[in-house]
């Protein structure tokens, strides 16, 4: 595919577009002239949030293959798929109910896999396309109290790396975007790592737009954290852990404010 694209020529599907990063991305891309289709379980919320935009909203449960097939039939040509939908219940893994574990993996990992399996064949037939998977910094560096979430995002990272190699010969790009803590409902009550500037949903949306315009395999938000993580991972484990304590990265989820997260946790837990 070309490394310089015109958004107005692209049909872009975004999962989890009713809120947060997905909504910010849909807003940015629609205003840039792209044909945007949002897939979300909360159709009414998404419709209200995008009422002033030229955006199509379709029902989609990313954990359900049948829902994906129905979405694909209604969405029209998808040139770019942004796998953004995700949930983040936090807490000790030994206290995590089985149904919550399954929900995290179903949405965060299987949703990406199923979406790719559903949408990528059309891209392969056309000889062009782009899949952008929204992972997370914890998909490279795990933190306590988010074990299953980290496992799901590590899975997205591995899946992205593998499918990039599989789909490249057919002209299909596969990219991943790894934000640090983002100021959205998903991160309510979660502290920011020390020395890391707060990241907004629009910061991530801007990174996604840049990746669509000029595909690259891996983009961190903020970008400088990628180099820091890569450098740190070359060091002995005890030094890595000392750096984690310095940045308070080891406490961003263990210190989460339960009261501030109560509404979100109630909404996304089965």
Helix or strand run (H / E) with residue 12: strand 11-15
Q: How far is it, in rounded angstroms, from Cα 119 to Cα 100?
A: 27
Strand partners, 83: 133
Two tokens at 150?
């980290």
Q: Which residues contact 109 (CB under 8 A, 6 or more apart)?
A: 151, 152, 155, 156, 159
For residue 173, the cross-strand partners are 130
- 68, 71, 149, 220: the catalytic one is 149
Q: Using CA atoms, how far apart are residues 163 and 220, in angstroms rounded to an integer? A: 19
Active site residue 170: no
pLDDT value, residue 2: 41
Q: Which helix (H) or strand (E) holds 132?
A: strand 129-134
pLDDT of residue 1: 43
- The CATH superfamily assigned to 7-268 is NAD(P)-binding Rossmann-like Domain (3.40.50.720)
Q: Per residue of the chain (270 residues), what is the pLDDT tens digit?
A: 445 689 999 999 999 999 999 999 999 999 999 999 999 999 999 999 999 999 999 999 999 999 999 999 999 999 999 999 999 999 999 999 999 999 999 999 999 999 999 999 999 999 999 999 999 999 999 999 999 999 999 999 999 999 999 999 999 999 999 999 999 999 999 987 877 788 999 999 999 999 999 999 999 999 989 888 889 988 899 998 898 888 888 889 998 999 999 999 999 999
pTM: 0.93
Task: Provide the CB-side half-sphere exposure for 64 (13 A, CA).
Answer: 10
d(CA 187, CA 36): 25
List all residues 6 or more positions away from 215 whose beta carbon is below 8 Å from its beta carbon. 1, 3, 130, 173, 175
- Looking up tokens 């009550």 gives 189
Strand order in the sheet with 11-15: 55-59, 35-40, 11-15, 80-83, 129-134, 172-179, 218-221
- In angstroms, the Cα distances linking 151 to 110, 111, 113, 164 are 12, 14, 14, 20
Concatenating the DSSP letter of every residue in 171-237 gives TEEEEEEEESSBSSGGGTTPPPPTT---B-HHHHHHHHHHHHHS--SEEEESTHHHHHHHHHTTS-H
* Tokens matching residue 44: 């009414």
């Amino acid at each position: 595919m070309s490394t310089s694209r015109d958004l107005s020529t692209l049909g872009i599907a975004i999962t989890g577009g009713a809120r947060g990063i997905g909504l910010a991305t849909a807003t940015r891309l629609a205003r840039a002239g792209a044909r945007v289709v949002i897939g979300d379980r909360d159709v009414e919320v998404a419709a209200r949030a995008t009422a002033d935009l030229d955006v199509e909203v379709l029902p989609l449960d990313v954990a359900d293959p049948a829902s994906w097939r129905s979405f694909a039939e209604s969405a029209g040509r998808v040139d770019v798929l942004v796998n953004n939908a995700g949930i983040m219940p936090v807490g000790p893994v030994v206290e995590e109910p089985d149904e919550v574990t399954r929900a995290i993996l179903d949405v965060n990992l299987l949703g990406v896999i199923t979406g790719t399996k559903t949408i990528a064949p059309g891209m392969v037939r056309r000889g062009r396309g782009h899949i952008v998977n929204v992972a997370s910094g914890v998909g490279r560096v795990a933190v306590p109290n988010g074990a299953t979430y980290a496992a799901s995002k590590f899975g997205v990272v591995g899946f992205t790396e593998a499918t990039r190699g599989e789909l490249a010969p057919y002209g299909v790009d596969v990219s991943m975007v790894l934000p640090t803590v983002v100021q959205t409902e998903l991160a309510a009550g979660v502290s920011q790592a020390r020395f890391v500037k707060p990241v907004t949903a629009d910061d991530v949306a801007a990174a996604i737009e840049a990746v669509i315009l000029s595909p690259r395999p891996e983009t961190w938000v903020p970008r400088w954290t990628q180099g820091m993580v890569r450098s740190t991972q070359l060091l002995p484990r005890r030094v890595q852990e000392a750096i984690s304590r310095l940045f308070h990265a080891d406490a961003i989820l263990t210190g989460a404010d339960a009261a501030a997260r109560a509404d979100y946790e109630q909404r996304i837990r089965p």
